[in-house]
Amino acid sequence: MSSTPRAFPQNFLWGTATAAYQVEGAAAEDGRGPSIWDTFSHTPGLVDNGDTGDVACDHYHRLEEDLDILAGLGVGAYRFSISWSRVLPGGRDRINQRGLGFYSALVDGLLARGIAPVATLYHWDLPQELEDAGGWPHRDTALRFGEYAHRMGEALGDRVHTWITLNEPWCSAYLGYASGVHAPGRTEPAAALAAVHHLNLGHGLAVRALRDVADPAALVSVTLNLHHVRGVSERDADAVRRIDALANRAFLGPMLDGAYPRDLIDDTAAVTDWSFVRDGDEATAAAPLDLLGVNYYNPVLVRQWDGASPKVTADGHADGAASPWIACDDVEFVQQPGPYTEMGWNIDETGLTELLLRLHHDHPGLPLMITENGAAFADVLDGDGRVRDERRIDYLHRHLTAVADAIDAGADVRGYFVWSLMDNFEWARGYAKRFGIVYIDRATLRRVWKDSAHWYRRVVADGALPAVGPAGSPGDRVV
């Protein structure tokens, strides 16, 4: 780290991100239909502490206040997601005008404050009716997604100029249908691979629909949680290759290169014959993109299991439970050195620089954007009304430095969005895991700027990271 401020490019886009089910609440209001996350969170035992998104941060009713926070932060962009079942309650047919009205007001409120809306069409909340009809393993879901994208492009495309089709299809497919720790909670590996394909196909159909109806100058993108995979030693190269295929190239292949990687199809041959991939699908999935959204939290470390010693599964899934890593039973996920966040994820920003440079190398000419990066810590609201989250400031400082390093080395990174604007419903972990730069008091839902929010406001205003103090810690922590 340097002792002088680290400047970012002139037009670098600074933002924060949220997702509909994690913040909105108002789950049964104004005609919203249920999604798979309503069903999942209301099933006892699936979410920590029995938490649900029924109320969440009540963002639906506190829109003006939250817009003012964004304006106060001075961000140039806000990434939010549209709840599919709020605007199309059964996932298809009739538009629910009251639900659409919320997003229209959100977009207008952002524009009035000079903040660019970045709309994600799908952040995991599939309309329950579409899951009942088969969900993502079923081809029809991809077609319905394309239609939904078309309707949103028509409704908001005059004002939204940056679109993201899917958020982290890795999670939707493998956590939703293989390990079952996310909605809809299914543990069917073959269905999960079919879901991978229909997410890729739905993405391509959505890109095409947005090109047809949205502003022709609009930027169309997808957000992937690419895994930066490292091997313990050179002997683990094949384990690295296989995890890379399932996690990264299963999406990058069809979306950017127009084909599934041959090794992925071979590796999973005992699970599926991939006959759900029809002629022309890969070309559809490869509709050209203007930007690639990258979500980064930590790298992963793997090794080939020797078949004898007890197997390590330090990837978050319990030993013996269904794995998201299909056909990788002989790959071990090795515990990495700390420090760790409250999620148990190790803090290692070097993986972000390496990942961005790999993408720059493999897909030259495709601009990149960090659509999520952040950390959960056990934040405490002190008696004086402050939340002293210096560990989050340190995390953000390290990762922004890693982004700057990648830019200096040639990567075309256009922007950075902190996950998250505010503490919210952290999926299967409920409200106990706090990722926000704004604290939410769960009893009152009062919003309190954490120290990290004050710090981020300064970074955004300066377009630069503050110099690092003599102790090697990020300086200027508290404003």
Q: Say how many C-beta atoms besides its own lie within 10 A of residue 139's C-beta.
A: 17
The set of residues, in sequence order, having a beta carbon less than 8 Å from that of 176 and lying 6+ positions away, is 36, 124, 135, 136, 182, 183, 184, 185, 186, 192, 195
The residue within the footprint of ligand PNW, chosen from 185, 316, 367, 475 (CB under 6 A), is: 316
Residue 300, strand partner residues: 229
Give the residue from 122, 132, 218 showing the smallest Cα distance to 173.
122
Q: Given the structure tokens 């002190």, which residue do they identify? A: 382
Q: Give Cα separations from 159 to 104, 154, 192, 362 (angstroms).
A: 9, 10, 35, 33
Q: Residues 51, 66, 168, 332: which binds ligand PNW (CB under 6 A)?
A: 168
Three-class DSSP labels, 264-295: HHHHCCCCCCCCCCCCCHHHHHCCCCCEEEEE
Kindly write out the interface string for residues 253-292 of this chain, putting x where it contacts ligand PNW by CB under 6 A and - elsewhere: ----------------------------------------
- CA angle (311, 315, 316) in 5-degree steps: 110
Q: Does 244 bind ligand PNW (CB under 6 A)?
A: no
Q: State yes or no: residue 19 binds ligand PNW (CB under 6 A).
A: yes
User: Looking at beta carbons only, is 80 or 276 nearer to ligand PNW?
Assistant: 80
Closest to ligand PNW by CB, 46 or 467: 46
Q: Which is nearer to ligand PNW, 150 or 249 (CB)?
A: 249
Binding mask 340-379 toward ligand PNW (x if CB under 6 A, else -) reads --------------------------------x-------
Interface with ligand PNW, residue 136, by CB under 6 A: no
Among 24, 51, 426, 476, binds ligand PNW (CB under 6 A): 426
Measuring CA to CA, which residue among 316, 317, 313 is closest to residue 330?
A: 313
Q: How far is the CB of 323 from ligand PNW (least distance, A)?
A: 12
Q: Which of residues 113-132 bind ligand PNW (CB under 6 A)?
A: none
Q: Name the segment binding ligand PNW (CB under 6 A); options: 43-51, 65-73, 165-173, 333-341.
A: 165-173
Among positions 41, 83, 225, 304, the unique one binding ligand PNW when judged by CB under 6 A: 225
Long-range contacts from 388-391, C-beta under 8 angstroms, 24+ separation: 388/451, 388/478, 389/450, 389/451, 389/452, 390/451, 390/477
Q: Min. distance of Cβ 151 from ligand PNW in angstroms?
A: 23
Report the interface residues with ligand PNW, using CB under 6 A. Answer: 19, 22, 167-168, 171, 225, 295, 316, 372, 419, 426, 435
